[in-house]
Structure 1
Amino acid sequence: MGRAVLLFLIIASLLFVEPVSVLPVFELYTKTTTGITETLFATFEHVSDVANKEKLVCSSLDTITVQIGNISQRIIQSEQINVIARMLQNLPSAHQLKLKLNDILMKQITLNVYYREMERYLRHIDKYENSALINFAEGVVSGDSNSIPFLMESVYQQVTVPGFFDDFLEGFDVTVGDSVCKGKQSTAQIIHSFMNELLIINLKGYIVTYTSYMIKKLCKIGDFNMELQDLREEFQRRTNNLVATIKPYMERASSALWRCDPQNHVKDETYIEVTNFLHGIILNKVNLDPNERCSEECDVFTYTTKYQCHDNKWCKHQTTCPKIINCLYIDSSMEVCRSEGMFKTNRRYDYVKFGNGRHFGKRKSCSRSRTTGLETYRNWLVYKCSYCYCLCEEGPPFFSERYINMRLTESNKTDNKVMTGLRFVKNRQVIHLQIQEGTLLPYGQIDLDTLRWVPVEDYKVTNSSYHPGKDYYTLKWEERDFDLADIMVKEGSIVTGVAFRKVGTRLHLQVQATPFNFTSGKLRNGFSVLEDDPDIRRKHKFAKQLILDRVDIPIRSDLPSDKFTTNKYVKFANTDYDKDAGQTTIPFFDAQPLESAIPVPLVGVGVFHKGTSGFGGFITPRIFTYNFTKHLGPVFSPDKNGRLRVS
């Protein structure tokens, strides 16, 4: 009989060792629990020889500890940090949930001490005296406040009490604080990981307690059959109740994920800007008037594509402007600090100081060679030729960086790869939405070794093979609207690509959706579709504009973004004249890589605006992670005799 049971143990171990590399944590937990419960109970129900039992129990439990290690490693993935400890790092320091989680963490640490001690005894059981083993077992099941049954019940009561997960959702609210984007997991993912961690705590406690009773039984201290049966039933009850308690909160939790503001802004790493599109420009009325007179006021010149440069040294020093918009008169005299060069600074002026005391741009020193004084003068002794402050839409393609890629960017579906991340990048003057891809595995898992950022298309807008409106979008004064919206794919599909398309005068996001089989992890090639917001036509007609009025350069803000806007549209515009001399195009693009700490397939992609009052803010991507809630169910179900078995 001993050999037959040993063979059963080896087969059972193989059954739940081999497939685990492709199972998600919950499935892995269920499968491992199957192996543990069936293996242990088969051993002790069928082996009568005590010596044989000791060898078989130690062999099977040693294998089990390896499986639990596999599950724990799956939960933390590449970040070698405990799930609860990671949540504590990212929670606001004053939040009441922090105290509760810290208490659970302390109990988990105590449990892990017992667990490691159990592992040591099992691996070297022949070297320990019976008295040492008995002392360990008595400490585990003693019933005091540090015993495993007490710790397990305490953790269970803490997380199942009404209100605990309401505090949890509040603490990880994506619209309040930065706990979610710091942790690089959506709220739904955080709850999922926490549930997995609680299940591991429950499983470890069960194994340590079970082992302790077995040690006492093998040392002939008692029979403990009833205690073992109660332990098993309690373990099954807690497991099912934990899943049932947490599942509704996972359904309610947001699956959105984005990046918080970085600690320090770095151009083209944390943000991207549209350059040389709209600039404040100073021109004299005589050069704006087709009759070369100064009879009209500055505000008459609201839109013109022509101006001339007469015998006036000032305009000859400036880069020409093909389109002039919304001119204003400010004062009769001014001192202008010209920038070091538009190709170097993407500005025409650093600042402008007017005779009436008004100041455009930040006050700073300016070299004499770049300082120019301008004053109103008389034309034909009748007209005052004043200098106007206008807006210039800059011109040549080689000069400006105001192009947005419209070509589809997709994962390699032939190799079963899906989108897992997103970021804005700029390449050869063109702003792209770059995607991260990874190979999809069964049960919604991603092969971490295949993750990579897909290189963006390398083309120039000056190449005649690429066409405006089809391959790329050109921002113009008349067409500079950007839709802020989230696009979700239909049930049973995941995101495999992104693109922009023009809807009316606005640039609008699209996502490529591809159906897949959750169990096999296979994409249905040939069934991909580009999906829009289903209400896009209605929204295009009735959507409200996000007004960015009198705003400064976004990276000048000392405060983190606290205003988040979606379901509107925003116009690219110039910064405020007083704050920046109108020399910068806002908003900027958030260029930080957006990826989940535990990569999963995506069910949606969006772009929204984040910022603070008085600043231009950032157009920011966000992703919506796959929610595994619908795949959760009871781990144990009653059999025909009413006993709970693994479902």
Structure 2
Amino acid sequence: MTKAVTETFNGVKRFDHSVDFTRERLFSNLNNITRQMGEIKMRIDNTGKHESIANRILGNIPSVDKLELTLHYINTQQIYINIYYREMDRYVKNFHDYESSTLLNFANRVLSDMCNSVPYMMESMYQQVVKQDILRLLLKRLDRTTISDYFCEENQSVVQILHNFMNDILVTNVESYIVTQTAYMMQKLYNNGSYQKESEDTNQAFWTRNKKIVSIMKTYMVNASLELWRCDPKKHEKDVTYFEITNFLHGIILNQINLEPKAKCTNTCDAFTYTTKYQCHNDKWCKEEISKEQTTCAKIINCQYIDSSMEVCRSGNMSETNRRYDYVKFGNGIHYGERKSCSKPRSTHLETYRYWLFFKCTYCYCVCEERPSVFSEIYINMRKVISNITDNKVVTGLRFVKIHRVVHLQIQEGRVLPHGQIDLDSVQWVPVEDYNVTDSAYRDGKDYYTLKWEQREFDLDDMFADEGSVVTGGAFKKFHNRLHFKVLTSPYNFITGSLGNKSTVQSDPALLYKHKFSNKELKLDGVDVPIRSKVHSTEFTTKKYVKFTNTGYEEDAGQTTVPFFDAQPVESAIPVPLSGVGVFHKGISGFGGFIAPRIFTYNFTKHLEEVINQMSKNDKL
């Protein structure tokens, strides 16, 4: 488009027809150019906020800061230049209605020697950018470890922010160029001067600024982050901002007599580290536990003795509460779970008793792996999710959803265009495959993954597309009793915008095990329910694995499975193709945290050298 602008002005300079004919041709071309400019600006600002990138950054960064002052100055200059541009646009569209003196007066204001002239404002703004102080401060503010308000609200990767900031400055440079050159043409038409040298100087300054801005931005974008994920919400909302695995692992109270095959209390609690058999022998409490309010256990694990007496507050129907107990208060003063009141029907006193005078039968606190039931939510989808590649669509976002008790990683797709653009009208969340684990057509281990005590490891890692490819799908796969995510990628032609036919899976499980499969565990021992934290997540973990486990006894009586899943959608405010995707753990010490998706936006940096080379050719026109 800027090439067309240059040719337009060069054409007018060489034109020898009458003023009216020349003016007609000039303003007609300018009208087309301003329309194209409008389309470009809509692409850059398609978030609906109708404001410059600099102003949006300014609104989310703390005050009394050099960065704020610089951004404020840049934004002010952009506003003034845009005011001139809109005035010029009005004259171009309706030039027959204005006197020549009005147009000449406009040209004189644009080109005056005052500090509010367009060339002065553009050069002044340009100098603020190329000093690079603003970029260093901006990168510091966007550092992921600071979790700034701007990062949490803007929903763009750092590379995207820098790329869009660059585009924003370049658009202002184009606007100033068009306004300045138009002003010289007006002076030529109505003031009988040639203004050839002035026009040539303006052209040279325009391309010099373009190349310098892109070159400096490229330097900072090379090391900037491509990752994008969601900060914790201001308020957690179940099944909206998060959801959890339910009816999987619970703390449970059982008497020794029901754990021993011969129904004699000869062993201690800690002798029962793993068993799949137990009974209800002459024990009213056990029969109440295995009532229609609760479910039986598939396995009993890691039992321990706490005290000879206790008060237990049952939670009621487990299908509704997803808990066995609200709290347990022992005679020795130890308290499991939250401190709250308990209604009489749900409160039970238990204490050690003797059996046949010889045996002392104590109550043990164990971990129960619940048997799968109609209200168990312990399944993770393993079927592929793929964008509509035949319609040139790529993955642009991710989110966890839970449908029919199955956890799915849902993809957002959009039709990719040339130069990394996405057709906004095509962006949509691809419906997840709506199936039920009770359907015999779907098999455990192939279509879905069932969490069990022996297989509850979840891999926290990222997968990336090869150079020249973008993400078009993915799936969870089981490998060595661990669930990990692999991605599907497709070749992408940046110039034509077309996807290649040959897709690739990243990466092969054997290769993954050899090079990337981590043996480091993120341990969640003795942690509390994540939504009880008063502080947002500050610890972020990848390149490890995490085990789904029960919460701590003292914190929650071991009644909740952690970590939770973060259900917030991860999508860029300005959709782009993805260079990678992953899952990670976010939380804070002492709490179970969340498994969350993250995306890595397309890396535009690698194409900027080509842009600089093209600019070098154009400035010689």
| Same fold by TM-score greater than 0.5 | yes
Query: How far apart, in 1, do the equivalents of 2:583 and 2:222 lie?
Result: 23
- Which structure 2 residues correspond to residues 8-407 of structure 1 after superposition, within 5 A? 32-82=1-51, 83-93=53-63, 96-178=66-148, 179-220=150-191, 222-318=193-289, 319=294, 320-407=296-383
User: Which shows bigger deviation, 314-323 or 133-142?
Assistant: 133-142
Runs of 4+ in 1 over 4 A off after TM superposition: 92-95, 532-535, 539-542, 635-639
Tell me the alpha carbon deviations over residues 60-93 of structure 1, each in whole angstroms, 9 at most, x when there is no partner: 2222211111110010124233222222233345
* Alignment length (residue pairs): 612
- Check whether the contact 2:13–2:196 (CA below 8 A) recurs between aligned residues: no
The change in CA–CA distance for 1:95 and 1:335 in structure 2 (over 3 A counts) is: farther
Q: How far apart in 1 are the matches of 2:315 and 2:26?
A: 79
Matches within 5 A, 1:450-599: 450-532=426-508, 536-538=512-514, 543-599=519-575
Which residue does the alignment assign to 2:604?
628
From the superposition, tell whether residues 542 and 132 of structure 1 become closer, same or farther in structure 2 (CA, over 3 Å).
closer
Q: CA deviation at 1:526?
A: 4.3
CA distance, structure 2, for counterparts of residue 464 and residue 94 of structure 1: 64
Query: In the superposition, relative to structure 1, how do residues 383 and 188 fare at CA in structure 2: closer, same or farther (>3 Å)?
Result: same
Q: Once the 2 structures are TM-superposed, how far is the Cα of residue 273 of structure 1 from its aligned partner?
A: 0.7
Task: State the Cα deviation string for residues 87-144 of structure 1 (Å, max 9, x = none).
Answer: 2233345654232212111111111111122222223333334443333222222222
In structure 2, how many angstroms separate the alpha carbons of the residues matched to 1:438 and 1:552?
39
Deviation at 1:398, TM superposition (A): 2.5
8 A contact 1:143–1:149 mirrored in 2: no
Tell me, in whole angstroms, the C-alpha distance in 2 between the residues paired with 1:637 and 1:255.
26
Matches of 1:462 and 1:371 in 2, distance apart? 36
The one-character-per-residue Cα deviations of 1:207-258 (angstroms, maximum 9, x if unpaired) are 1112222222222164322211111111111111111111122222111111
d(CA) in 2 for partners of 1:542 and 1:183? 32
User: In 2 relative to 1, CA 267–638 (structure 1 residues): closer, same or farther, beyond 3 Å?
Assistant: closer
DSSP 3-state at the match of 2:302: strand
Seen in structure 2, the aligned counterparts of structure 1 residues 94 and 465 have a Cα distance that, compared at 3 Å, is farther
Distance 2:382 2:218 in 1: 40
For the Cα contact (< 8 Å) 1:487–1:532, is it kept in 2?
A: no
Q: Aligned with 2:187: secondary structure?
A: helix
* Runs of at least 5 residues in structure 1 that lack an aligned partner in the other structure: 1-31
Q: Distance in 1 between matches of 2:508 and 2:61?
A: 35
Change (3 A) 1:94 1:358: farther
1:534–1:48 distance in 2 versus 1, CA, 3 Å? farther
Structure 2 vs 1, CA of residues 598 and 444 (structure 1 numbering), >3 Å: closer, same or farther? same
Unaligned regions of 5+ residues in structure 2, if any? none
SS in 2 for 1:191: helix
Q: 1:616 to 1:532 in 2, by over 3 A?
A: farther
TM-superposed deviation, 1:475 = 1.1
* Counterpart in the other structure of 1:3: none
Q: Residues of 1 paired with 2:493 and 2:93: CA distance? A: 41
Q: CA RMSD in A?
A: 2.0
Q: Are the aligned partners of 2:530 and 2:564 in contact in 1 as well (CA < 8 Å)?
A: yes
| Matched position secondary structure for 1:317 | helix
Query: Residue 287 of structure 1: CA displacement?
Result: 1.1
Deviation at 1:269, TM superposition (A): 1.5
Give aligned-pair identity as a percent: 56
Distance 1:404 1:412 in 2: 23
Task: State whether residues 464 and 506 of structure 2, in contact with CA within 8 Å, keep that contact through their aligned partners in structure 1.
Answer: no
- 1:414 paired to 2:384: no
Q: Residue 193 of structure 1: CA displacement?
A: 0.5
Give the match's secondary structure for 2:264.
coil
Counterpart-to-counterpart distance in 1, 2:166 and 2:605: 11
The alignment's TM-score, normalised by the length of structure 1, stands at: 0.91
Q: TM-score, normalised on structure 2?
A: 0.94
Tell me the distance in 2 between the aligned counterparts of 1:288 and 1:203: 80
Note closer, same or farther for the CA distance 1:98–1:638 as it changes in structure 2 (3 Å cut): closer
